[in-house]
Amino acid sequence: MIPLIDMSKDQWTEYRDNLSRDVKSIHIPTDVNPKSAISILSKIDSIYSNLRLHFSDLKSSKERIDLMVKEIERVGLQGKNEDERKRNAALEVRKITTEAGFTLYDLQRESTERYMAIEGILDVLINKQNRLITINGLLKLDKDLMVSSDSFAYMGGSR
């Protein structure tokens, strides 16, 4: 798999759209049972485990780009006043380009966009997992209450 930071715009769009579709397809039914809960958790884990590894690489690349931008901006901080120093710093960063003509600022924006998108998808997966765990806990509690109620009735108590 190509690192997320190295994907072309079209590859990234297709990857993000497929990932979003897969995550949206995970539905937690109101009448979840243990078998379906395990199946849903397995699907969440499959997507999450793979995505989290890609996210780590993306985060590392994003931070590397951010540090490069800051370093070059510091070198370019020259001028008579604050505005001139900021302008010169930005111009220094814009001098660094890729073969395709992208500046470091372009790469920074792109990495931030991808980072935020993947972070959002990871949040959705974590929230789905948490809801499923909560529902599972409620089902166990409901089952225990039903057993206790049945035991109480069996012992001669009234309902």
The whole-angstrom separation of Cα 129 and Cα 49 is 13
All residues at 6 or more sequence positions from 12 whose CB lies less than 8 Å from its CB, including other chains: 4, 114
SS3 109: helix
Q: What percent of the chain has pLDDT above 90?
A: 70
Across 48-63, average pLDDT: 96
Q: What does the pLDDT look like over 41-54, one tens digit per residue?
A: 999 999 999 999 99
Does the pLDDT of residue 153 top 70, yes or no? no
The whole-angstrom separation of Cα 156 and Cα 159 is 10
At 97, give phi and psi (nearest 5°).
-135, 160
**Averaged pLDDT of the chain:** 89
* Cα angle 130, 28, 146; round to 5: 80
How many angstroms separate the Cα of 39 from the Cα of each of 36, 42, 60, 98?
5, 5, 32, 45
Q: What does the pLDDT look like over 6-42, one tens digit per residue?
A: 999 999 999 999 999 999 999 998 788 888 988 999 9
